[in-house]
């Protein structure tokens, strides 16, 4: 008997969704569930780790193993889960405040270590759960609850930062185009190494519904003219200011992953000496 084909509905849960009506994160959730179905990931072999914030509720809305961590700490937990269970598919998810503010340190060093995980960031340019404060990606000059006279700071460019740090897969999607975003998540999951999928996911409450129209008007889908293996082309795309790049911006294969390096070290240790007890073996990896 052939195994039953999983559909997006198989990844839904009974947990009530408490996002604001019209929130862009609904599109991200749909794309993640559709991507899981496209990849035919058994729910028991999928783990979703999230941080804190509106977007980080998403771990409870996907039928899989889930871990809702503390603010900014989704990535080290996701990397640890992948090290412990390299056979599992591990997704980390959160928002721009969670990942690019308090989580910046972990973002930097997770990229450096290159674990085989996918990081989906719902970038809405605002702190939504705490009621509309400026975030690391809020455009310069924008009025928020914490910047009533306009944001005086330049926004962080997560795509350029990830590229400079050596991320092996960088893509950007839009929650208003679920099919395209689904395809990006599928590609990111199949990639062996750390994959960043930054998602323009508007906050209708504190940024306004017009944000969807702004992204649709400024969105530029990358076509065959763009070579994602070309670092210089990718760098040029990350510097766009008048357009929003959508698609796979950069991808490089063959870079050793964190799990691969760990396994290689374990094998070398085993070859180097014999162990009389489990305790002695554990000491090698302290």
**Residue 70: both structure tokens together:** 């503390």
| Mean pLDDT of the 196-201 span | 98
Matching residue, tokens 């990844």: 11
Q: Which of 141-150, 209-218, 225-234 shows the lowest per-residue confidence on average (mean pLDDT)?
A: 141-150
Average pLDDT of the segment spanning 189-217 = 95
Domain-wise residue ranges, the chain: 8-254, 256-286
Does the pTM of the predicted model rise above 0.85? yes
Is the Cβ–Cβ distance between 45 and 37 less than 8 Å? no
Per-residue burial over 71-81, b if 16 or more Cβ lie within 10 Å, else e, is: ebbbbbbbbeb
Look at strands 89-95 and 46-50 and give their pairing. Answer: parallel
Q: Vertex 88, ends 85 and 94: CA angle to 5°?
A: 100
Of 27-31, 66-70, 87-91, 218-222, which range is least confident?
66-70
Burial environment of residue 87 by CB neighbours within 10 A (0 to 12, 13 to 18, 19 or more): exposed
- Average pLDDT of span 249-254: 97
Is the pLDDT higher at 245 or at 128?
245
Per-residue pLDDT of 93-133, as tens digits, reads: 999 999 999 889 999 999 999 999 999 999 999 898 888 89
Q: For position 167, what pLDDT does the model report?
A: 98
What is the model's pLDDT at position 50?
96
Q: What is the 3-state secondary structure (H, E, C) of 221-235?
A: ECCCCCCCCCHHHHH
DSSP string computed for the chain? -PPPPP-GGGGB-SSPP-SPTT-THHHHHHHHHHHHHHHT--GGGEEEEE-SSSGGGGGGGBSSEEEE-STT-HHHHHHHHHHH-TTSEEEEEEEHHIIIIITHHHHHHHHHH--S-EEEEEE-SSBTTTTSB--TTPPTT---SS-TT---SPPP-HHHHHHHHT-SEEEEEETT-HHHHHHHHHHHHHSSS-EEEEEE---TTTT-THHHHHHHHHEEE--TTS-TT-HHHHHHHHT-SSSEEEEEEEE---PPPHHHHHHHHHHHHHHH---SSHHHHHHHT-
Regarding beta strands 169-174 and 89-95, do their DSSP bridges make them parallel or antiparallel, or are they unpaired? unpaired
Structure tokens at 267: 């094998």
Q: Phi-psi category of 251—alpha, beta or left, where left has phi over 0 and alpha has psi -120 to 50? A: beta
The CA distance from 34 to 23, in Å, is: 18
Task: Tell me the CATH class for 8-254.
Answer: alpha beta
pLDDT, tens only, 65-84 = 999 898 889 999 999 999 99
Q: Write down the pLDDT at residue 274.
A: 62
Task: Tell me how far apart the alpha carbons of residues 20 and 56 are, in angstroms, rounded to a whole number.
Answer: 14
Half-sphere exposure of 81 (CA within 13 A, CB side): 23
Q: Is the pLDDT of residue 262 over 90?
A: no
């Amino acid at each position: 008997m052939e195994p039953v084909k999983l559909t997006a509905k198989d990844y839904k849960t009974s947990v009530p969704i408490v996002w604001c009506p019209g929130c862009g994160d609904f599109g991200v959730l749909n794309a993640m569930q559709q991507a899981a179905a496209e990849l035919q990931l058994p729910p028991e072999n999928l783990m979703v780790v999230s941080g804190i914030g509106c977007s980080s509720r998403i771990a409870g809305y996907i039928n899989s193993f889930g871990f809702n961590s503390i603010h900014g700490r989704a990535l080290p937990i996701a990397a640890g889960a992948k090290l412990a269970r390299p056979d599992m598919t591990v997704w980390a998810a959160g928002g721009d405040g969670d990942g690019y503010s308090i989580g910046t340190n972990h973002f930097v060093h997770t990229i450096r270590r290159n674990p085989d995980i996918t990081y989906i960031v719902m970038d809405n340019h605002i702190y939504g759960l705490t009621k509309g404060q400026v975030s690391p990606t809020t455009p310069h000059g924008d009025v928020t609850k914490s910047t009533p006279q306009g944001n005086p700071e330049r926004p962080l460019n997560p795509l350029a930062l990830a590229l400079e740090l050596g991320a092996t897969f960088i893509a950007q999607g839009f929650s208003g185009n679920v099919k395209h975003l689904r395809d990006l998540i599928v590609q990111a999951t199949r990639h062996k190494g750390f994959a960043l999928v930054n998602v323009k996911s508007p906050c209708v409450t504190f940024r306004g519904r017009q944000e969807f129209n702004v992204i649709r008007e400024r969105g530029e889908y990358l076509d065959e003219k763009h070579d994602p293996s070309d670092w210089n082309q990718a760098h040029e795309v990350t510097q766009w200011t008048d357009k929003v790049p959508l698609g796979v911006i950069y991808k490089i294969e063959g870079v050793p992953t964190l799990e691969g390096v760990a396994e290689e070290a374990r094998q070398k240790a085993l070859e180097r000496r014999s162990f009389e007890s489990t305790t002695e073996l554990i000491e090698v990896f302290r």
